[in-house]
Structure 1
Amino acid sequence: MLEQRNKTHAKMNTCTRLVIGVAFFLIGVFAQIPLADQLKCRLCNNALELRDCTKQAICDNRTEECYMEQVLTETFNTVYRGGCQSRDRCKGGTPVAIGKREELIGCSQCCSYADDCNKRLCGIRPENTTTGQCYFCDLSKSVQASVTDPRDCITLTTCDTDQVCSVHNEFHPGSATTFRYGCQNKYICRVLMRNVFEFMLRCAGISSAECQHDSVLCDVCCGDGACNYDDCRILKGRLFQLWTAGKLNNDTLQVIP
Protein backbone atom coordinates (compact mmCIF):
# COMPACT_ATOMS: atom_id res chain seq x y z
CA MET A 1 0.00 0.00 0.00
CA LEU A 2 2.84 2.37 0.94
CA GLU A 3 4.71 1.46 -2.24
CA GLN A 4 1.63 2.25 -4.39
CA ARG A 5 1.19 5.61 -2.61
CA ASN A 6 4.83 6.52 -3.27
CA LYS A 7 4.42 5.69 -6.98
CA THR A 8 1.32 7.92 -7.16
CA HIS A 9 3.18 10.83 -5.53
CA ALA A 10 6.10 10.31 -7.90
CA LYS A 11 3.78 10.52 -10.93
CA MET A 12 2.11 13.67 -9.57
CA ASN A 13 5.48 15.30 -8.96
CA THR A 14 6.58 14.45 -12.50
CA CYS A 15 3.42 15.99 -13.99
CA THR A 16 3.78 19.09 -11.83
CA ARG A 17 7.40 19.56 -12.91
CA LEU A 18 6.35 19.14 -16.56
CA VAL A 19 3.60 21.76 -16.29
CA ILE A 20 5.91 24.21 -14.53
CA GLY A 21 8.61 23.57 -17.12
CA VAL A 22 6.26 24.29 -20.03
CA ALA A 23 5.01 27.47 -18.33
CA PHE A 24 8.56 28.75 -17.83
CA PHE A 25 9.40 27.84 -21.43
CA LEU A 26 6.48 29.88 -22.77
CA ILE A 27 7.34 32.81 -20.50
CA GLY A 28 10.90 32.61 -21.75
CA VAL A 29 9.82 32.64 -25.40
CA PHE A 30 7.76 35.83 -25.03
CA ALA A 31 10.36 37.41 -22.76
CA GLN A 32 12.87 37.10 -25.60
CA ILE A 33 10.82 39.49 -27.77
CA PRO A 34 11.39 43.10 -26.64
CA LEU A 35 8.16 45.05 -26.28
CA ALA A 36 9.18 47.39 -29.11
CA ASP A 37 9.54 44.42 -31.48
CA GLN A 38 6.28 42.67 -30.60
CA LEU A 39 3.72 42.60 -33.42
CA LYS A 40 0.16 41.48 -32.65
CA CYS A 41 -1.48 39.56 -35.49
CA ARG A 42 -5.02 38.24 -35.86
CA LEU A 43 -5.01 34.46 -35.39
CA CYS A 44 -7.36 32.60 -37.73
CA ASN A 45 -7.75 28.83 -38.03
CA ASN A 46 -10.15 27.78 -40.80
CA ALA A 47 -12.24 30.91 -40.16
CA LEU A 48 -15.20 31.77 -42.36
CA GLU A 49 -14.99 35.49 -41.57
CA LEU A 50 -13.09 37.85 -39.28
CA ARG A 51 -15.46 37.45 -36.34
CA ASP A 52 -14.26 33.81 -36.10
CA CYS A 53 -10.70 35.02 -35.40
CA THR A 54 -11.05 35.82 -31.70
CA LYS A 55 -7.40 35.55 -30.62
CA GLN A 56 -4.15 37.34 -31.40
CA ALA A 57 -0.65 35.95 -31.83
CA ILE A 58 2.45 37.80 -30.59
CA CYS A 59 5.02 37.84 -33.38
CA ASP A 60 8.64 39.00 -33.52
CA ASN A 61 8.60 41.99 -35.86
CA ARG A 62 12.34 41.57 -36.49
CA THR A 63 11.88 38.25 -38.27
CA GLU A 64 8.11 37.80 -38.75
CA GLU A 65 5.07 39.50 -40.26
CA CYS A 66 1.33 39.04 -39.93
CA TYR A 67 -0.18 36.95 -42.70
CA MET A 68 -3.57 35.89 -43.99
CA GLU A 69 -4.35 33.09 -46.43
CA GLN A 70 -7.56 32.32 -48.30
CA VAL A 71 -7.75 28.54 -48.69
CA LEU A 72 -10.04 26.36 -50.80
CA THR A 73 -10.21 23.10 -48.86
CA GLU A 74 -10.54 19.56 -50.18
CA THR A 75 -14.24 19.73 -49.22
CA PHE A 76 -14.65 22.85 -51.43
CA ASN A 77 -15.06 25.28 -48.54
CA THR A 78 -13.43 28.73 -48.47
CA VAL A 79 -11.64 29.38 -45.16
CA TYR A 80 -9.03 31.78 -43.83
CA ARG A 81 -5.85 31.07 -41.89
CA GLY A 82 -3.68 33.75 -40.36
CA GLY A 83 -1.15 34.58 -37.70
CA CYS A 84 2.65 34.97 -37.75
CA GLN A 85 4.89 34.01 -40.65
CA SER A 86 8.60 34.45 -41.35
CA ARG A 87 9.61 37.41 -43.48
CA ASP A 88 11.45 35.06 -45.85
CA ARG A 89 8.26 33.12 -46.55
CA CYS A 90 6.31 36.34 -46.98
CA LYS A 91 8.69 37.42 -49.75
CA GLY A 92 7.52 34.45 -51.81
CA GLY A 93 4.40 36.32 -53.05
CA THR A 94 0.93 34.86 -53.59
CA PRO A 95 1.08 31.07 -54.12
CA VAL A 96 -1.50 29.44 -56.36
CA ALA A 97 -0.19 25.89 -56.32
CA ILE A 98 -1.81 22.93 -54.61
CA GLY A 99 -0.91 22.84 -50.94
CA LYS A 100 -1.76 20.26 -48.28
CA ARG A 101 -3.52 17.33 -49.94
CA GLU A 102 -6.10 18.87 -52.27
CA GLU A 103 -6.11 22.37 -50.76
CA LEU A 104 -5.64 25.40 -53.00
CA ILE A 105 -4.23 28.64 -51.62
CA GLY A 106 -6.06 31.32 -53.55
CA CYS A 107 -4.42 34.24 -51.74
CA SER A 108 -1.54 34.75 -49.31
CA GLN A 109 -0.61 38.24 -48.09
CA CYS A 110 1.62 39.64 -45.34
CA CYS A 111 1.89 42.96 -43.49
CA SER A 112 3.80 44.48 -40.59
CA TYR A 113 2.84 48.16 -40.59
CA ALA A 114 0.58 47.91 -37.51
CA ASP A 115 -0.88 45.53 -34.95
CA ASP A 116 -3.79 43.48 -36.30
CA CYS A 117 -3.01 44.58 -39.87
CA ASN A 118 -3.85 41.18 -41.33
CA LYS A 119 -7.54 41.64 -40.55
CA ARG A 120 -7.89 43.39 -43.95
CA LEU A 121 -5.96 40.92 -46.11
CA CYS A 122 -7.11 38.41 -48.73
CA GLY A 123 -10.70 39.63 -48.69
CA ILE A 124 -11.66 38.18 -45.32
CA ARG A 125 -15.06 39.62 -44.44
CA PRO A 126 -14.72 42.39 -41.80
CA GLU A 127 -16.60 42.40 -38.52
CA ASN A 128 -19.93 44.21 -38.17
CA THR A 129 -20.63 44.47 -41.92
CA THR A 130 -23.62 43.24 -43.89
CA THR A 131 -23.84 41.79 -47.38
CA GLY A 132 -24.98 45.09 -48.88
CA GLN A 133 -22.14 47.18 -47.47
CA CYS A 134 -19.09 48.21 -49.53
CA TYR A 135 -15.99 50.32 -49.05
CA PHE A 136 -16.77 53.75 -50.47
CA CYS A 137 -13.96 56.14 -51.41
CA ASP A 138 -14.78 58.24 -54.45
CA LEU A 139 -14.15 61.98 -54.75
CA SER A 140 -17.33 62.62 -56.73
CA LYS A 141 -19.72 60.83 -54.34
CA SER A 142 -18.20 59.89 -50.99
CA VAL A 143 -17.11 61.89 -47.95
CA GLN A 144 -13.74 60.21 -48.48
CA ALA A 145 -11.91 60.67 -51.80
CA SER A 146 -10.08 58.02 -53.80
CA VAL A 147 -6.85 56.92 -52.09
CA THR A 148 -3.29 56.05 -53.06
CA ASP A 149 -3.14 53.23 -50.49
CA PRO A 150 -6.05 50.76 -50.06
CA ARG A 151 -5.45 50.78 -46.30
CA ASP A 152 -6.52 54.42 -46.19
CA CYS A 153 -10.06 53.68 -47.37
CA ILE A 154 -12.08 53.28 -44.18
CA THR A 155 -15.50 54.56 -45.26
CA LEU A 156 -18.38 52.08 -45.72
CA THR A 157 -21.73 52.62 -47.37
CA THR A 158 -24.88 50.54 -47.88
CA CYS A 159 -25.46 49.99 -51.60
CA ASP A 160 -28.83 49.73 -53.32
CA THR A 161 -30.34 46.25 -53.67
CA ASP A 162 -29.49 46.17 -57.39
CA GLN A 163 -25.82 46.98 -56.76
CA VAL A 164 -22.64 45.19 -55.67
CA CYS A 165 -19.20 46.40 -54.58
CA SER A 166 -16.69 47.75 -57.09
CA VAL A 167 -13.10 48.98 -57.24
CA HIS A 168 -11.26 50.90 -59.94
CA ASN A 169 -7.54 51.61 -60.36
CA GLU A 170 -6.78 55.02 -61.85
CA PHE A 171 -3.38 55.37 -63.49
CA HIS A 172 -1.86 58.74 -64.33
CA PRO A 173 1.64 58.83 -65.90
CA GLY A 174 4.10 60.39 -63.50
CA SER A 175 1.77 60.07 -60.52
CA ALA A 176 0.90 57.35 -58.03
CA THR A 177 -1.94 54.94 -58.85
CA THR A 178 -5.15 55.85 -57.04
CA PHE A 179 -7.94 53.49 -55.97
CA ARG A 180 -11.64 54.32 -56.17
CA TYR A 181 -14.17 52.23 -54.25
CA GLY A 182 -17.96 52.17 -54.35
CA CYS A 183 -21.11 50.48 -55.69
CA GLN A 184 -22.01 49.40 -59.20
CA ASN A 185 -25.09 47.98 -60.95
CA LYS A 186 -25.27 44.18 -60.69
CA TYR A 187 -26.06 43.63 -64.38
CA ILE A 188 -23.12 45.77 -65.50
CA CYS A 189 -20.89 43.91 -63.05
CA ARG A 190 -21.94 40.48 -64.30
CA VAL A 191 -21.00 41.45 -67.85
CA LEU A 192 -17.79 43.12 -66.67
CA MET A 193 -16.58 40.14 -64.64
CA ARG A 194 -17.45 37.66 -67.38
CA ASN A 195 -15.26 39.67 -69.75
CA VAL A 196 -12.51 40.01 -67.11
CA PHE A 197 -12.33 36.27 -66.48
CA GLU A 198 -12.43 35.39 -70.19
CA PHE A 199 -9.62 37.87 -70.80
CA MET A 200 -7.54 36.36 -67.99
CA LEU A 201 -8.05 32.86 -69.37
CA ARG A 202 -7.03 34.03 -72.82
CA CYS A 203 -3.94 35.79 -71.48
CA ALA A 204 -2.76 33.00 -69.17
CA GLY A 205 0.91 32.41 -69.98
CA ILE A 206 0.92 34.98 -72.82
CA SER A 207 3.04 38.15 -72.83
CA SER A 208 1.32 40.01 -75.67
CA ALA A 209 1.04 43.80 -75.69
CA GLU A 210 -2.71 43.52 -75.06
CA CYS A 211 -2.21 41.40 -71.93
CA GLN A 212 0.56 43.62 -70.57
CA HIS A 213 -1.64 46.71 -70.98
CA ASP A 214 -4.19 45.11 -68.66
CA SER A 215 -1.72 45.22 -65.76
CA VAL A 216 -2.24 49.02 -65.49
CA LEU A 217 -6.00 49.39 -66.03
CA CYS A 218 -8.41 47.56 -63.75
CA ASP A 219 -12.13 47.45 -62.90
CA VAL A 220 -13.56 44.72 -60.69
CA CYS A 221 -16.86 43.89 -58.94
CA CYS A 222 -17.71 41.45 -56.14
CA GLY A 223 -20.92 40.62 -54.31
CA ASP A 224 -19.98 39.92 -50.68
CA GLY A 225 -20.04 42.43 -47.84
CA ALA A 226 -17.05 44.83 -47.92
CA CYS A 227 -15.35 42.56 -50.45
CA ASN A 228 -13.92 45.48 -52.48
CA TYR A 229 -10.99 46.18 -50.18
CA ASP A 230 -7.54 45.91 -51.86
CA ASP A 231 -5.64 46.89 -54.96
CA CYS A 232 -7.95 46.13 -57.89
CA ARG A 233 -5.36 43.88 -59.53
CA ILE A 234 -4.87 41.80 -56.38
CA LEU A 235 -8.63 41.45 -55.90
CA LYS A 236 -9.02 40.46 -59.56
CA GLY A 237 -6.45 37.68 -59.19
CA ARG A 238 -8.15 36.42 -56.04
CA LEU A 239 -11.59 36.36 -57.68
CA PHE A 240 -10.16 34.64 -60.75
CA GLN A 241 -8.76 31.84 -58.57
CA LEU A 242 -12.19 31.39 -56.96
CA TRP A 243 -13.93 31.47 -60.36
CA THR A 244 -11.64 28.87 -61.94
CA ALA A 245 -12.18 26.65 -58.87
CA GLY A 246 -15.97 26.95 -59.24
CA LYS A 247 -16.29 28.88 -55.98
CA LEU A 248 -17.70 32.17 -57.32
CA ASN A 249 -21.38 32.55 -58.21
CA ASN A 250 -21.58 34.06 -61.71
CA ASP A 251 -24.89 35.80 -60.99
CA THR A 252 -24.38 37.21 -57.49
CA LEU A 253 -20.56 37.44 -57.70
CA GLN A 254 -20.47 36.06 -54.16
CA VAL A 255 -18.11 33.39 -52.85
CA ILE A 256 -19.82 29.99 -52.73
CA PRO A 257 -19.57 28.62 -49.13
Structure 2
Amino acid sequence: MLQSKIGFVLNVLFIVYFTSKSANGQTGPTVTLTCRSCNRASSLDQCSGSITCGVNEICYLDELITDQKTVVYNAGCRAKDVCNAGTSKPSIVGKRELQKRGDLVACSACCNRPRYSGEPECNTRLCGIKYANTNTSTCYSCDSSSSGQGDVHEPQDCISQSVCQSNEACGVQRYDYLGSDSHRYVCLPKLICTLLTKEALKRMEECRQSHDSNICGNVGKRSLVNVCTACCGDGLCNTGTCEQLLDRIYNLWKGGALDLHTLQLKQTTTRL
Protein backbone atom coordinates (compact mmCIF):
# COMPACT_ATOMS: atom_id res chain seq x y z
CA MET A 1 0.00 0.00 0.00
CA LEU A 2 2.81 2.41 0.93
CA GLN A 3 4.67 1.71 -2.31
CA SER A 4 1.46 2.31 -4.26
CA LYS A 5 0.95 5.71 -2.62
CA ILE A 6 4.59 6.69 -3.21
CA GLY A 7 4.23 5.71 -6.88
CA PHE A 8 1.06 7.80 -7.20
CA VAL A 9 2.74 10.86 -5.64
CA LEU A 10 5.76 10.54 -7.94
CA ASN A 11 3.50 10.34 -11.00
CA VAL A 12 1.63 13.46 -9.89
CA LEU A 13 4.91 15.33 -9.30
CA PHE A 14 6.16 14.24 -12.74
CA ILE A 15 3.03 15.56 -14.45
CA VAL A 16 3.08 18.83 -12.49
CA TYR A 17 6.78 19.35 -13.28
CA PHE A 18 6.41 19.02 -17.05
CA THR A 19 3.13 20.95 -17.09
CA SER A 20 4.90 23.79 -15.30
CA LYS A 21 7.78 23.74 -17.81
CA SER A 22 5.32 23.90 -20.71
CA ALA A 23 3.45 26.79 -19.11
CA ASN A 24 6.72 28.69 -18.79
CA GLY A 25 7.55 28.19 -22.46
CA GLN A 26 9.86 25.25 -21.84
CA THR A 27 8.98 22.02 -23.53
CA GLY A 28 10.51 18.60 -23.83
CA PRO A 29 12.67 17.56 -26.76
CA THR A 30 11.19 18.37 -30.16
CA VAL A 31 11.22 16.05 -33.15
CA THR A 32 13.91 17.14 -35.61
CA LEU A 33 12.77 17.48 -39.19
CA THR A 34 15.02 16.05 -41.90
CA CYS A 35 14.46 17.15 -45.48
CA ARG A 36 15.80 16.22 -48.89
CA SER A 37 18.17 18.94 -50.12
CA CYS A 38 19.32 19.90 -53.63
CA ASN A 39 19.84 22.80 -56.01
CA ARG A 40 18.62 22.68 -59.61
CA ALA A 41 18.24 18.91 -59.70
CA SER A 42 16.47 17.43 -62.73
CA SER A 43 15.08 14.44 -60.83
CA LEU A 44 14.94 12.80 -57.42
CA ASP A 45 18.11 10.89 -58.30
CA GLN A 46 20.04 14.16 -58.33
CA CYS A 47 18.21 15.52 -55.30
CA SER A 48 20.11 13.28 -52.90
CA GLY A 49 21.29 15.65 -50.17
CA SER A 50 19.89 15.70 -46.64
CA ILE A 51 19.50 18.58 -44.22
CA THR A 52 18.15 18.99 -40.69
CA CYS A 53 15.89 22.00 -40.25
CA GLY A 54 16.09 24.57 -37.50
CA VAL A 55 13.36 24.94 -34.92
CA ASN A 56 11.53 27.55 -37.04
CA GLU A 57 11.92 25.76 -40.37
CA ILE A 58 10.13 23.03 -42.34
CA CYS A 59 10.79 21.19 -45.60
CA TYR A 60 10.11 22.75 -49.00
CA LEU A 61 10.46 21.92 -52.68
CA ASP A 62 10.28 24.28 -55.67
CA GLU A 63 9.65 23.17 -59.23
CA LEU A 64 11.16 25.69 -61.65
CA ILE A 65 10.90 26.20 -65.40
CA THR A 66 14.20 27.42 -66.86
CA ASP A 67 14.57 29.75 -69.82
CA GLN A 68 15.35 26.60 -71.84
CA LYS A 69 11.87 25.24 -70.98
CA THR A 70 13.35 22.44 -68.87
CA VAL A 71 12.24 21.67 -65.32
CA VAL A 72 14.55 21.67 -62.29
CA TYR A 73 13.99 21.38 -58.54
CA ASN A 74 15.31 23.13 -55.44
CA ALA A 75 14.72 21.57 -52.02
CA GLY A 76 15.70 21.98 -48.39
CA CYS A 77 14.49 23.85 -45.31
CA ARG A 78 12.47 27.06 -45.36
CA ALA A 79 11.22 29.37 -42.62
CA LYS A 80 7.78 28.39 -41.31
CA ASP A 81 6.47 31.94 -41.60
CA VAL A 82 7.42 32.03 -45.29
CA CYS A 83 5.54 28.79 -45.91
CA ASN A 84 2.55 29.88 -43.82
CA ALA A 85 2.42 33.21 -45.65
CA GLY A 86 1.56 31.32 -48.80
CA THR A 87 4.72 31.95 -50.79
CA SER A 88 5.27 28.21 -50.97
CA LYS A 89 1.90 27.36 -52.42
CA PRO A 90 1.57 26.60 -56.14
CA SER A 91 1.47 30.05 -57.66
CA ILE A 92 1.12 32.02 -60.85
CA VAL A 93 3.96 31.45 -63.29
CA GLY A 94 6.42 34.31 -63.09
CA LYS A 95 6.85 34.49 -59.30
CA ARG A 96 10.56 34.57 -58.46
CA GLU A 97 12.27 34.11 -55.15
CA LEU A 98 15.92 33.04 -54.99
CA GLN A 99 15.93 31.35 -58.37
CA LYS A 100 18.12 32.26 -61.30
CA ARG A 101 17.11 35.14 -63.50
CA GLY A 102 14.58 33.86 -66.01
CA ASP A 103 13.31 30.96 -63.89
CA LEU A 104 9.55 30.60 -63.53
CA VAL A 105 7.90 28.91 -60.56
CA ALA A 106 5.57 26.06 -61.58
CA CYS A 107 5.06 24.71 -58.07
CA SER A 108 6.28 25.61 -54.59
CA ALA A 109 5.20 23.67 -51.54
CA CYS A 110 6.14 22.94 -47.91
CA CYS A 111 5.60 20.01 -45.55
CA ASN A 112 6.38 19.22 -41.92
CA ARG A 113 5.74 15.49 -41.72
CA PRO A 114 8.47 13.85 -39.55
CA ARG A 115 10.53 11.16 -41.20
CA TYR A 116 10.10 7.76 -39.60
CA SER A 117 12.30 4.72 -40.09
CA GLY A 118 12.17 3.51 -43.67
CA GLU A 119 10.22 6.52 -44.93
CA PRO A 120 11.56 9.12 -47.38
CA GLU A 121 11.65 12.81 -46.50
CA CYS A 122 8.26 14.45 -46.88
CA ASN A 123 9.42 16.89 -49.58
CA THR A 124 10.15 13.98 -51.94
CA ARG A 125 6.37 13.84 -52.45
CA LEU A 126 5.93 17.48 -53.46
CA CYS A 127 5.44 19.08 -56.90
CA GLY A 128 5.66 15.85 -58.88
CA ILE A 129 9.39 15.22 -58.43
CA LYS A 130 10.33 11.61 -59.18
CA TYR A 131 13.24 9.32 -59.99
CA ALA A 132 14.45 9.48 -63.59
CA ASN A 133 13.64 5.83 -64.30
CA THR A 134 10.06 6.03 -63.02
CA ASN A 135 7.67 4.24 -65.36
CA THR A 136 5.31 6.85 -66.82
CA SER A 137 2.44 4.39 -66.38
CA THR A 138 2.98 4.12 -62.62
CA CYS A 139 0.58 6.17 -60.52
CA TYR A 140 -0.32 6.53 -56.87
CA SER A 141 -3.37 4.38 -56.27
CA CYS A 142 -5.71 4.89 -53.32
CA ASP A 143 -9.22 3.95 -54.30
CA SER A 144 -11.61 2.13 -51.99
CA SER A 145 -13.27 0.43 -54.94
CA SER A 146 -10.23 -1.06 -56.66
CA SER A 147 -6.94 -0.85 -54.72
CA GLY A 148 -5.50 -2.25 -51.53
CA GLN A 149 -5.31 1.20 -49.94
CA GLY A 150 -8.57 3.09 -49.86
CA ASP A 151 -9.37 6.79 -50.23
CA VAL A 152 -7.43 9.02 -47.83
CA HIS A 153 -8.18 12.18 -45.88
CA GLU A 154 -4.58 13.42 -46.07
CA PRO A 155 -2.91 13.29 -49.51
CA GLN A 156 0.50 12.31 -48.09
CA ASP A 157 -1.06 9.17 -46.59
CA CYS A 158 -1.48 7.64 -50.05
CA ILE A 159 1.57 5.44 -50.60
CA SER A 160 0.20 2.57 -52.74
CA GLN A 161 1.18 2.45 -56.40
CA SER A 162 -0.19 0.69 -59.46
CA VAL A 163 0.63 0.46 -63.16
CA CYS A 164 -2.08 1.94 -65.37
CA GLN A 165 -3.11 0.71 -68.81
CA SER A 166 -1.50 2.29 -71.89
CA ASN A 167 -4.70 4.28 -72.53
CA GLU A 168 -4.83 5.69 -68.98
CA ALA A 169 -3.20 8.53 -67.06
CA CYS A 170 -2.70 9.36 -63.38
CA GLY A 171 -5.56 11.14 -61.68
CA VAL A 172 -6.60 12.82 -58.43
CA GLN A 173 -10.18 13.25 -57.29
CA ARG A 174 -11.51 15.12 -54.28
CA TYR A 175 -15.01 14.74 -52.93
CA ASP A 176 -16.93 15.42 -49.76
CA TYR A 177 -17.43 12.50 -47.40
CA LEU A 178 -19.59 13.16 -44.36
CA GLY A 179 -18.56 16.81 -44.30
CA SER A 180 -14.81 16.40 -44.78
CA ASP A 181 -12.51 16.09 -47.78
CA SER A 182 -11.57 12.68 -49.07
CA HIS A 183 -8.96 12.15 -51.79
CA ARG A 184 -8.86 9.37 -54.36
CA TYR A 185 -5.79 8.53 -56.47
CA VAL A 186 -6.65 6.56 -59.60
CA CYS A 187 -5.94 5.67 -63.22
CA LEU A 188 -8.29 7.52 -65.60
CA PRO A 189 -8.85 7.23 -69.38
CA LYS A 190 -6.37 9.47 -71.25
CA LEU A 191 -9.02 10.74 -73.64
CA ILE A 192 -11.21 11.95 -70.79
CA CYS A 193 -8.17 13.37 -68.98
CA THR A 194 -7.07 15.36 -72.03
CA LEU A 195 -10.54 16.82 -72.54
CA LEU A 196 -10.96 17.66 -68.84
CA THR A 197 -7.51 19.26 -68.64
CA LYS A 198 -7.97 21.39 -71.75
CA GLU A 199 -11.31 22.66 -70.43
CA ALA A 200 -9.85 23.36 -66.98
CA LEU A 201 -6.88 25.26 -68.44
CA LYS A 202 -9.20 27.30 -70.66
CA ARG A 203 -11.33 28.31 -67.68
CA MET A 204 -8.29 29.05 -65.51
CA GLU A 205 -6.83 31.24 -68.27
CA GLU A 206 -10.07 33.17 -68.65
CA CYS A 207 -10.27 33.57 -64.90
CA ARG A 208 -6.73 34.87 -64.45
CA GLN A 209 -7.02 37.27 -67.36
CA SER A 210 -10.40 38.74 -66.45
CA HIS A 211 -10.54 38.43 -62.63
CA ASP A 212 -14.30 38.35 -63.14
CA SER A 213 -16.02 36.26 -60.48
CA ASN A 214 -18.79 35.42 -62.94
CA ILE A 215 -16.21 33.81 -65.22
CA CYS A 216 -13.91 32.42 -62.55
CA GLY A 217 -16.49 30.72 -60.41
CA ASN A 218 -14.37 28.24 -58.42
CA VAL A 219 -11.80 27.39 -61.10
CA GLY A 220 -8.62 26.25 -59.39
CA LYS A 221 -10.26 26.69 -56.01
CA ARG A 222 -12.34 24.56 -53.71
CA SER A 223 -15.56 23.67 -55.46
CA LEU A 224 -18.88 24.52 -53.87
CA VAL A 225 -20.10 21.05 -54.78
CA ASN A 226 -16.93 19.51 -53.35
CA VAL A 227 -15.97 17.70 -56.55
CA CYS A 228 -12.65 18.05 -58.36
CA THR A 229 -10.75 15.91 -60.87
CA ALA A 230 -7.24 16.50 -62.23
CA CYS A 231 -4.93 14.43 -64.43
CA CYS A 232 -1.25 14.27 -65.36
CA GLY A 233 0.81 12.07 -67.70
CA ASP A 234 4.13 11.46 -65.93
CA GLY A 235 4.87 8.64 -63.53
CA LEU A 236 3.81 9.23 -59.91
CA CYS A 237 2.73 12.77 -60.81
CA ASN A 238 -0.62 12.51 -59.01
CA THR A 239 0.44 13.86 -55.62
CA GLY A 240 -1.09 16.55 -53.43
CA THR A 241 -4.68 17.74 -53.69
CA CYS A 242 -6.69 18.02 -56.88
CA GLU A 243 -6.49 21.82 -56.80
CA GLN A 244 -2.70 21.76 -56.28
CA LEU A 245 -2.26 19.49 -59.28
CA LEU A 246 -4.46 21.72 -61.44
CA ASP A 247 -2.37 24.76 -60.46
CA ARG A 248 0.86 22.92 -61.23
CA ILE A 249 -0.39 21.72 -64.63
CA TYR A 250 -1.55 25.25 -65.49
CA ASN A 251 1.80 26.78 -64.57
CA LEU A 252 3.76 24.16 -66.51
CA TRP A 253 1.54 24.77 -69.53
CA LYS A 254 1.91 28.56 -69.34
CA GLY A 255 5.66 28.16 -68.94
CA GLY A 256 5.91 26.07 -72.10
CA ALA A 257 7.07 22.93 -70.29
CA LEU A 258 3.95 20.77 -70.69
CA ASP A 259 2.88 18.69 -73.68
CA LEU A 260 -0.88 19.19 -73.65
CA HIS A 261 -1.53 16.07 -75.72
CA THR A 262 0.32 13.67 -73.39
CA LEU A 263 0.06 15.77 -70.20
CA GLN A 264 3.77 15.04 -69.68
CA LEU A 265 6.74 17.33 -69.17
CA LYS A 266 8.24 18.03 -72.58
CA GLN A 267 11.67 16.89 -71.44
CA THR A 268 10.25 13.54 -70.32
CA THR A 269 10.21 10.47 -72.56
CA THR A 270 8.12 7.39 -71.96
CA ARG A 271 9.97 4.63 -70.10
CA LEU A 272 8.73 1.09 -70.13
Q: TM-score range by the shorter chain?
A: 0.7 to 0.9
- Find the partner of 1:58 among 52, 63, 74: 52
Determine if contact 2:203/2:216 at 8 Å carries over to the other structure.
Answer: no
The residue type paired with residue 113 of structure 2 is Y
**Alpha-carbon distance in 2 for matches of 1:251, 1:209:** 25
Q: Secondary structure at the match of 1:233?
A: helix
Consecutive unaligned residues of structure 1, counting only runs of 5 or more, are 1-33
**Alpha-carbon distance in 1 for matches of 2:260, 2:215:** 28
Structure with the larger helix share = 1
**Alpha-carbon distance in 2 for matches of 1:208, 1:39:** 43
**Alpha-carbon distance in 1 for matches of 2:153, 2:31:** 28
Within a 5 Å distance, the mapping from 1:20-31 to structure 2 comes to none
Question: Match for residue 200 of structure 1?
Answer: 204
- Find the partner of 1:233 among 240, 243, 262: 243
Within a 5 Å distance, the mapping from 1:87-106 to structure 2 comes to 87-93=80-86, 94=89, 95-96=91-92, 97-99=94-96, 100-106=100-106
Q: Secondary structure at the match of 1:171?
A: strand
Is 1:158 the counterpart of 2:163? The answer is yes
How far did 1:102 drift?
1.3
**Alpha-carbon distance in 2 for matches of 1:131, 1:121:** 17
Number of corresponding residues: 222
- Find the partner of 1:167 among 140, 159, 172: 172
Question: Match for residue 177 of structure 1?
Answer: 181
Determine if contact 2:206/2:215 at 8 Å carries over to the other structure.
Answer: no
Question: Match for residue 134 of structure 2?
Answer: 129
- Greater C-alpha radius of gyration: 1
Is 1:215 the counterpart of 2:222? The answer is yes
CA deviations on 1:155-201 (whole Å, 9 max, x unpaired) are 100011111111111124x5211111111111111111111111111
Determine if contact 1:120/1:126 at 8 Å carries over to the other structure.
Answer: no
CA deviations on 1:115-137 (whole Å, 9 max, x unpaired) are 31111111112577311100111
Question: Match for residue 19 of structure 1?
Answer: none
Q: Secondary structure at the match of 2:180?
A: coil
Determine if contact 1:126/1:226 at 8 Å carries over to the other structure.
Answer: no
Is 1:149 the counterpart of 2:154? The answer is yes
Determine if contact 1:123/1:229 at 8 Å carries over to the other structure.
Answer: yes
How far did 1:37 drift?
4.8
**Alpha-carbon distance in 2 for matches of 1:69, 1:103:** 11
- Find the partner of 2:62 among 56, 69, 86: 69
CA deviations on 1:187-237 (whole Å, 9 max, x unpaired) are 111111111111111222222386137622311111000101110001100
Query: Structure 1-normalised TM-score?
Result: 0.80
Q: Structure 1 residues 210, 55: closer, same or farther in 2, change over 3 A?
A: closer
Is 1:256 the counterpart of 2:260? The answer is no
Query: Structure 2-normalised TM-score?
Result: 0.76
- Find the partner of 2:194 among 182, 190, 201: 190
**Alpha-carbon distance in 2 for matches of 1:212, 1:123:** 24
Q: Secondary structure at the match of 2:212?
A: coil
Determine if contact 1:57/1:83 at 8 Å carries over to the other structure.
Answer: yes
Q: Secondary structure at the match of 2:259?
A: coil
Q: Secondary structure at the match of 1:50?
A: coil
**Alpha-carbon distance in 2 for matches of 1:108, 1:233:** 13
The residue type paired with residue 41 of structure 1 is C
* Superposition CA RMSD, Å: 2.0
How far did 1:48 drift?
1.6
Q: Structure 1 residues 130, 35: closer, same or farther in 2, change over 3 A?
A: farther
Determine if contact 1:71/1:79 at 8 Å carries over to the other structure.
Answer: yes
How far did 1:98 drift?
3.6
**Alpha-carbon distance in 2 for matches of 1:114, 1:203:** 37
